[in-house]
Structure 1
């Protein structure tokens, strides 16, 4: 017999059986209306039913929303396989080969059960150890932070390009912390001309910027190339200020992930 359980982002699970006792149509039953397996009060009844006899179980998610369901099954000695070759939270696209355009949990459960019945190449799922799970979580977090940082830098450069293109060309904002600190205080040509290179260098030094004088000279030189205020400059400057602070905060968060990953990783044999 085969059984299919599908963990979803919302915590739902769909279950399919082919022994005929719980099925009424085509050998499968929609279990998505049952209590969601969120805690022990709901998982215990499910575990009791699933462990009455040996059975094979297949899932089309091997990460994300199916984690609790997979932990429940493996902790009760169930044989668990996946229809995916790589770790993913994206459902198997094989459903496109079945009749019907609608997408429901019941159809997904039927498709997974049918795949589990026919295929012989399903990969067994092993219970993840604590170190692997910790590193997976931290890696995903760092990836998200890096993506957010890239989006913020690109948006900031686009905004600068609209009203102060000379300053946008002057610095590499993805690599220069000094340029980001500069933008938290001065964003317009008029402000930079007014403060001048000497006072700007002092302002940067007080914020522990390396090469403060060179940064100040380059910024003021860019301001000398533009003496026209573009419409919406004040609003755009406020947005650039906010984005620069956001990028600096994201840099700190990204840097904080590394020591967490080092603590989570096992010590090397050479150590």
Structure 2
């Protein structure tokens, strides 16, 4: 059966709570490959701007959690940054303009390490890309995949940290993005020698439409779980319902 926008594939899902160094509790969910299979890689998801309705359930991140554990053997960790609300609940604290969220990013990376989750990659979207670039270059992190990076908060010093680390950075930039388009993105990301900028024809900042979601998830899997690339568009196994 064809995998559609609303498809939920099997996974071992459980609610989680992240604990920050400044004593906040953040709500989230961990989705693991079904049947007790060990994941081959991990996505630590950093969602879009919460003051513009971004949250852990923002659709690309939700669909990553619904599909990639079964299709690619990838663990998907999603959470709400401080003060952010989704169906899972509301994380403690208040929006920190991308500064206080450094503790949120650190808590998610530490959780992945504590759980023994392998090969963790940051998957940031919009505001989440700023968090990845500013606070995510941790020794435990394998690399970063950035969806619609605006580069509003990111400084030259942040870029230099990633450049010095040698870690891969992949930016998926919509042709018709509202904030940063492919040509300018290539110029800005030239500060990171290992950065790769992929322009996506006809796409917009919010990646609305199943064809664009598939492009994103395919490019993610190409980097973090290459043996599973390209992702299938059909699934012959059981389906689940979206209950979280």
TM-score bucket of the superposed structures, by smaller chain: under 0.3
Query: How does the TM-score come out when normalised to structure 1?
Result: 0.24
Normalising by the residue count of structure 2, what TM-score does the alignment of the two structures yield? 0.26
Whichever structure has more strand as a proportion of its residues is 2
Q: Which has the higher contact order (CA 8 A, sep 6+)?
A: 2
Query: Which structure has the bigger radius of gyration?
Result: 1
* Structure ranking higher in helix proportion: 1
